[in-house]
Amino acid sequence: MPPIPDRRYYDSFLVPHLGLFLASGANLIVGWVCALFGNSQWLVASAIVMSLAIFVRLGMSLFHARLIEKMPHKRLNAYVQAIEIAISANLGLFGALALVLQLSHNLETLALGYALTYATAMTVRCADRPGWARAHMGLIAAPIVLAGLYVATPGSTVLALIVPGLALSMDKLTQAVHYNLCNIVRISQERKAVSEQYHFLAMHDGLTNLLNRDGFHYALDDLLAQHGPHQRVALLWLDLHRLRDVNESQGYATGDKLLCEMTRRMRACTPDDAVLARFGSDEFLLALPVASRAHAEQLVSKISEHLNRPLRLDLALVEAGTSIGVAILGEDSATVSHLMQSANVALMQAKEQGLETCFYVPEMGSKRAERKELERDLRSAISRGELAVHFQPLIDLDSGRICSFEALVRWTHPEKGEISPEVFIPVAEETGQIITLGNWVTAQAARAAATWPDHILLAVNLSPTQMRAPGAALGILHALRQAGLAPHRLVIEVTESVFLEDSVHARHFMDDLTRAQVHFALDDFGTGYSSLSYLHRYHFDKIKIDRSFVCGPEVGPHSDAIVRAVAGMGRKLGMEIVAEGIETAEQANSLRRAGCTLGQGFYFSRAVTAEMAQQLLERDMNHQTRFDVAL
């Protein structure tokens, strides 16, 4: 291992410590004792040189902090070498003079013994630099050996022969210590590298190399500490759309490419001091300093525009897109914890309203609290008997007879009264309770429908979450068997959002149930992302035209033309066309003439209990009730 002249080495040499003062004192005592009692000008001169070197060394030790901060390492290294060389050379000269001048045995022993002891100590002291250790030993041993051979007394000759052996043995010791030091340093460096690697892995996402949850919290704390407590920081909570669909339709490798490409885009459009992290499978967090809310809006708009551009993956054009919730520390939140809650609330609001970006406002917090309370109540609503399945009839517009019922869930809260499905169904969707709720509705409705005449069908609504649940198709068939309802009497109503969110699962789900003779209806046709490709790719028996084309302020010649076009297409494809939201006889008659085959709405009946649905069927079978639409 080559010597590394770093600050720690100079500190170890220069920092004042007891050993340094003891060694310096010993050098001075030995030098001046030999000089004063040896009666030689050479010894006095050597003692003076040694004293100067020692005082310089002590001065550098006392003022080491200033020297290390102000003096370049190379220059300081040169001074260190010069001081050590001067001291070692001087001690070697002392030993040689003690032999040549033939001092008294006491002084000779003192000079030679101390010189060789110092040489031995320096070889160990400089074990991290074997070259320096050899230099010190050589500067001390060589003059003594030469002097011993020059004097040529029996004792000096033996000494001249012994000292080289001592030098060689000390060199071996130095090499052994150096080898051990190298191993210690290597092991320490390896452990440090492994520790740093583990720390990096613990703080970063393995795929994107972005910070993970833990790393984000540390980095955000550093960002806040760097900019001060009064700095506004915008937190963006991003949700990546369609990652699940890409994973299952094109494979997880393509999904990983999507994540990496979105990561690259995020890095490209964010400032250098921003903190970016992957917070979940398809969620990211971005924290960045902002000057004002207007500045934050400008940055968020730029980021959203950049991220929502289509991208090409494996020759396929993918419109992934993102929803972004934004909160600002210092305006919307006072603490980091509350900031993250606020950004998450804003993200949920953006997703619910189909927005690309949404900034947090205080009203969202109270709405979120109400939503959480509703979520808790909904979890126990089934067991407490607060939910009930009602049935709304679908009428044949030609005969005026009941042909099927749509199952609709109703919730009567013990304190809040009737809660609209438009309120609690989205909560169930968001929390995953829709699976339990949907299975319960299907089972209850199937038991009721099993008592109806065989030609009366049952329609139930299914959400994308239910269709994605493992074993969803088998669960529905099991519920039908338990209720004793034939599969061909069930109609499952789905919306276009099913195919936008998860087309692969939708295909498998529909194929499995179609083989079992279950029917499918495309609900709310004409809203959202209506596409004729769905009718071409999937097997539907019914199309339900959204109520916005039947009643409301936008009804007119254009909507009538659309209804006629859809009805004509349905006839060509062998589908029944259902018109929702019929409230008057005039609407029913107009829709019948436009080509709709079935009608549903308050004109015929509201959603009623299972007992009342049974009564409607009995009156229909006895021809006591027939809805007149032929005006």
Assign 440 a pLDDT band (cuts: 50, 70, 90): very high
| Topology annotation, domain 394-408+434-621 | TIM Barrel (3.20.20)
Mean of all residue pLDDT scores within the chain: 85
pLDDT in the model for residue 415 = 86
| Topology annotation, domain 213-362 | Alpha-Beta Plaits (3.30.70)
CA distance 58 to 62: 6
State the average pLDDT over residues 606-611.
Answer: 94
> What one-letter code names the amino acid at 223?
L
The secondary structure of 138-175 as a DSSP string is HHHHHHHHHHHHHH--HHHHHHHHHHHHHHHHHHHHHH
Residue 348 near residue 429, CB atoms below 8 Å: no
pLDDT digits 0-9 by tens, 111-136: 888 888 888 888 877 777 888 888 88
- Can you give the pTM of this predicted structure? 0.54
Instruction: Return contacts of 516-519, CB within 8 angstroms, 24+ apart.
Output: 516/473, 516/477, 516/487, 517/486, 517/487, 517/488, 518/476, 518/487, 518/488, 518/490, 518/491, 518/492, 519/457, 519/488, 519/490, 519/491, 519/492
The yes-or-no verdict on residue 287 having pLDDT over 80 is: yes
- Would you kindly state where each structural domain of the chain is located, as residue ranges? 7-196, 213-362, 394-408+434-621
Residue 266 near residue 288, CB atoms below 8 Å: no
Residue 436 near residue 467, CB atoms below 8 Å: no
For the chain, the first-to-last Cα distance in angstroms comes to 103
Residue 94 near residue 25, CB atoms below 8 Å: no
The yes-or-no verdict on residue 147 having pLDDT over 90 is: no
Indicate the range of 226-240, 475-489, 597-611 predicted with least confidence: 226-240
Residue 606 near residue 561, CB atoms below 8 Å: no
Assign 155 a pLDDT band (cuts: 50, 70, 90): confident
**243-257, 261-275, 365-379, 447-461: which is most confident:** 447-461
The yes-or-no verdict on residue 334 having pLDDT over 90 is: no
